[in-house]
Amino acid sequence: MLKYKTIGTLSEGNYKEKGSRFLSYAFPVKSEEEIQQQLTVLRKKYHDARHHCYAYVLGKEGNIHRANDDGEPNHSAGDPILGQIKSHGLTNVLIVVVRYFGGIKLGVGGLIQAYREAAADALANNEILETEDFQFMKIKFGYLSMNEVMKIVKDYQLGILEQHFDNSCEMELNVADSVMEQVRNKLSEIEGLRIT
């Protein structure tokens, strides 16, 4: 799976049930270190909340995931949050739901519903993006090869990050993983071009 779906930015949601407040936050994340940083920030900000339940999915394949109930009954908080991430087919996403207890117990079914709704609200307020990973590639070539290089750049929609033109030319390109091999093959056909 080279292309994957994730979210564009931080978003928030809010859900209320029988006096309890569920504040939800969806973050784009790339590592477990980033997840721990976001959790630390929210725990400090909402230090008086009873629960900070969360779930995340990481990796292009979405194969790293975790759900945490943070003291709520087993599988009543983290799993419904994780279910929202998975039902949207997302990865590199952390959703945290902060619960302020309102004095009335919701029961396991009520908790599952509340955490699911809070997580869904945070995602509904975000933009879902289809993206893929990119790699950088530096190339050096003679000025006479410029037209051939620019045709490849255009055909494969490569991003030009830097370019220097003189007797010899240098370019730094942003290449999507999905076309990297094809681009390398095409560039290697150009006489005198070096990939560095």
pLDDT at 186 over 60: yes
**What is residue 114's predicted lDDT score, i.e. its pLDDT?**
97
Residues 6+ apart with CB under 8 A from 34: 27, 94
pTM over 0.75: no
Same fold, 3-130 and 133-195: no
- Where are the chain's structural domains? 3-130, 133-195
Q: Residue 134, class by beta-carbon neighbours within 10 Å (0-12 exposed, 13-18 middle, 19+ buried)?
A: middle
CA distance 139 to 162: 11
Q: How far is CA 98 from CA 18, 79, 123, 167, in A?
A: 16, 15, 15, 61
What is the model's pLDDT at position 131? 80
Given a cut of 90, is residue 55 above it in pLDDT?
A: yes
pLDDT band at 134 (very low <50, low <70, confident <90, very high): confident
Residue 129: pLDDT band (50, 70, 90) is confident
Other beta carbons within 10 Å of 140 = 14
Region 133-195: CATH code: 3.30.70.1150
**Please, are residues 179 and 194 in contact by the beta-carbon 8 Å criterion?**
no
Q: Which CATH architecture is the domain 3-130 placed in? A: 2-Layer Sandwich (3.30)
| Two structure tokens written together for 30 | 């790339």
Q: Assess whether pLDDT exceeds 60 at residue 1.
A: no
β-strand partners of 55: 67, 95
- What is the per-residue pLDDT for 69? 97
| Confidence at residue 2, expressed as pLDDT on a 0 to 100 scale | 61
| Residue 116 CA to its chain's centroid (Å) | 20
- Distance of alpha carbon 106 from alpha carbon 2, whole angstroms: 42
pLDDT 10s digits, 165-177? 877 899 999 888 8
Q: Which of 73-77, 150-154, 159-163 has the lowest mean pLDDT?
A: 159-163
pLDDT in tens, 70-124: 999 999 999 999 999 999 999 999 999 999 998 899 999 999 999 999 999 999 9
